[in-house]
Chain A
Amino acid sequence: AQKVTQAQTEISVVEKEDVTLDCVYETRDTTYYLFWYKQPPSGELVFLIRRNSFDEQNEISGRYSWNFQKSTSSFNFTITASQVVDSAVYFCALRAGGTSYGKLTFGQGTILTVHP
């Protein structure tokens, strides 16, 4: 069975602060994929990043960076110099390889509020 845990239910920061959203996953599959999605107040889930289990290279995209560590089963997401527009619910998700047919297992989400 797959499981994703986002222990932080809500985070509140002031603009320009850095913030890290934690994600811990469980799976018995050796091949799997990890995702982060953003859900702004408008409600639509927006794909941010995919990471394959066989690629532990960290990734940076502008103010966003992701730290994937298989040893601790974590896939954390850092926003540098946060902005009010970053306020949203962020979901970490796991998709197993093999015959899982691609369905995503989501964490409970972290509500991020960035105050001006």
Chain B
Amino acid sequence: KNEVEQSPQNLTAQEGEFITINCSYSVGISALHWLQQHPGGGIVSLFMLSSGKKKHGRLIATINIQEKHSSLHITASHPRDSAVYICAVRDGGSQGNLIFGKGTKLSVKP
């Protein structure tokens, strides 16, 4: 069983739709990261959180430590949001190494 599971694997949405990507993990963590990988391959860190909720523009990330679950929400989605979104958890007992999910490929159609 993978330690970090993301769902869905693929997601197609119409422009303007509200999008939710889920991440569940099975290990104790000290932090959870959401990353965005553009079609060109570059990886950008969106959020790092260990509790509660964070918001940046149209992106919102939440985490429930008790349920070992995090969600990434995109409001008013736009074609430029099309990318692979990756969840990663930082193992609480390590040097801070990250364990990555396989990613969710999002395509937003105009």
Do A and B truly interact? Answer: no
Interface residues of A (CB under 8 A from B): none
